[in-house]
Amino acid sequence: MQSKKLLIALLIFTSILSCKDDEKEKIEEVPLQTFVEPEGIKEFGFNLNDYIVKRDTIKSGDSFGVILERNNLGYPKIFQIAERAKDTFDITKLQVGKPYTLLCAKDSIQTPRCFIYQPNKEEYVVVNFHDSIHAYTSRKPIKYVEKVATGTISSNISEALEEQGLSPRLAFKMADEIYAWTIDFRRLQPGDRFKVIYTDKYIDDSIYAGVHNIKAAFFEHNKEPFYAFQFETDSTKGIKDYFNEEAKNLRRAFLKMPVKYGRLSSRYNLKRRIAYYGYKIRPHKGTDFAAPVGTEIMATANGTVTESRRKGGNGNYVKIRHNATYSTQYLHMSRRKVKVGDYVKQGDVIGWVGMTGNTGGPHVCYRFWKNGKQVDPFREKLPEAEPISDSLKVRYLEYIKPIRTQLDNILFEEQEPEIELAIEDDIIS
């Protein structure tokens, strides 16, 4: 135990010494920003008017000890704080570019009382050493605002949304998550139109965090209507799907490809000949999708991870069993995100594109098994997603009644000549 304390002390002290000279120069040139907060403002659970507030981001060479030491806190106190907080907060894992806040006393030297680190927009870590020393992790309050919007296609859906100042994320969700199997968004026609009920996400009431979810949508393509309603089919696993007005699932059991941004570079081919091997037949039982290193690889269907390891020419790979009939495999990953036994949902990220194993360039080799035999997924008649059970269907049809009424009552632009865009907000949580 004593040796562990000495090691922590050495780490903190070394950080301070190694960066001290450089940091003094930085302090003189770019002082920590001190803010006068509006009266009565609260953040991170503190009344900021009780403190002098200093905000900055982690710089190269910064450490927990360096930051506190250059803000007039002595080394013995820094060591005491680090020792007491270590079970909650690993002080060695501050990331460059992440914001932090110091709450300081209103005394002559502005003594630090609390260090707050934000690893992401929602979470924050508090190390409070005002009276007693304690550390904890918390989250900022999240608010979801329900909105509705309409649009008419002149060239593509992204342009239709952009013209109205709406997030392009809406276009992606409609094209890739809802209507991927029912509407070809590359062949939309001028005059096609849509309306959508969705929720935007806000952190701390004011920080926009993007489109959270689409509750329901209506798309009129070539004069044909396509309804979509989101419905939770498995609350224990959090599985939600989109269904039409007759309770038919809009997606297929499998995605068309395991990457969002990539191109088909090599097809399944049992008679492939390669010059490198003297034009001998070298069967290729996978389908290759070229993409930059680091591109997210998604599970193409719900299932359980049966293999996650690195082996020979496969490199880093993951294999998923979807049911008694189908399994899929994803090769040459740079890194894997899942482990054996994990349950994954369609679209979940399971790893990232790389060049491990036998490969001449960054890509994912996607392999598809049916009844234990590798097959070409593009030549298979893939099953539709699992339909709603009879008992759930009754509940679903009741559930969508008021939502469909809400959707049908949203008027298109041309029905409201004096209003450029039909948008209304409704805070739902």
Q: For every one of its 429 residues, what pLDDT tens digit does the chain have, with 9 covering 90 and above?
A: 544 454 445 444 444 444 444 444 443 444 565 555 555 578 888 999 999 999 999 999 899 999 999 898 888 898 889 888 888 888 888 899 999 999 999 999 999 999 999 998 889 999 999 888 989 999 888 889 999 988 888 878 888 777 777 777 888 888 877 887 788 777 888 888 999 999 998 888 778 888 888 999 999 998 899 999 999 887 776 778 899 999 988 877 788 889 987 788 877 776 665 555 566 666 778 889 999 999 999 999 889 999 999 999 899 999 999 988 999 999 999 999 999 999 998 889 999 999 999 888 899 999 999 999 999 888 887 777 777 888 899 999 999 999 999 999 998 866 554 434 444 445 554
Q: Are strands 42-43 and 46-47 parallel, antiparallel or unpaired?
A: antiparallel
Q: How far apart are the first and last CA of the chain?
A: 47
**pLDDT score of 24:** 40
- Taking the domains of the chain in order of start, what are their residue ranges? 2-139, 143-251+389-427, 263-379
Angle at which helix 2-29 crosses helix 75-85, to 10 degrees, equals 120
Report pLDDT for 271. 64
Angle at 289 between CA 284 and CA 290, to 5 degrees: 115
Residue 417 vs residues 154, 176, 275, 411: alpha-carbon distances, Å:
18, 31, 64, 10
The predicted model scores a pTM of: 0.59
Distance, in Å, from the CA atom of 221 to the CA atom of 71, rounded to the nearest integer, reads 62
**Residue 399 to residues 338, 393, 403, Cα–Cα distance (Å):** 35, 10, 8
Helix H or strand E encompassing 69: helix 64-69
263-379, which class in CATH? mainly beta
Other CB atoms within 10 Å distance of the CB of residue 190: 8
Q: Read off the tokens for 302.
A: 């719900």
Report residue 336 as tokens.
Answer: 């894997």
- Tell whether the torsion through CA atoms of 155, 157, 158 and 160 is positive or negative: positive
Q: Which residues on neighbouring strands pair with residue 101, listed in sequence order? A: 55, 116
What distance in Å separates the CA atoms of residue 174 and residue 228, rounded to the nearest whole number? 10
Longest dimension (CA), the chain: 81
Distance CA(105)–CA(102), nearest Å, equals 10
- Domains 2-139 and 263-379 in one fold: no
Q: Which residues contact 33 (CB under 8 A, 6 or more apart)?
A: 54, 55, 56
Taking alpha carbons only, the member of 103, 133, 135, 97 closest to residue 118 is: 97
Give residues with Cβ within 8 angstroms of 25, minimum separation 6.
Answer: none
Strand (E) or helix (H) holding 280: strand 280-281
Cα(1)–Cα(309) distance, rounded to whole angstroms? 36
Numbers of helices and strands, H then E, in the chain:
6, 26
- pLDDT given at position 324: 87
CATH number among 3.40.630.30, 3.40.50.970, 3.20.20.70, 3.10.450.350, domain 143-251+389-427 = 3.10.450.350
Cβ contacts of 366 within 8 Å, gap of 6 or more: 257, 258, 286, 287, 288, 289, 300, 328, 329, 330, 331, 377
Give the per-residue pLDDT at 278: 61
Contact 257, 366 (CB under 8 A): yes
What gap in Å lies between CA 51 and CA 180, rounded to an integer?
53
pLDDT value of residue 285: 84
Give phi and psi for 197, each to the nearest 5: -110, 120
CATH of region 2-139, choose from 3.60.21.10, 1.20.1090.10, 3.40.190.10, 3.10.450.350: 3.10.450.350
Phi and psi torsions of 412, nearest 5°: -75, 165
Which residues are 297's β-sheet partners? Answer: 351
Give every CB contact of residue 279 below 8 A, 6+ residues apart in sequence.
273
The SS3 call for residue 55 is strand
Rounded CA-CA distance 62/96 in Å is 8
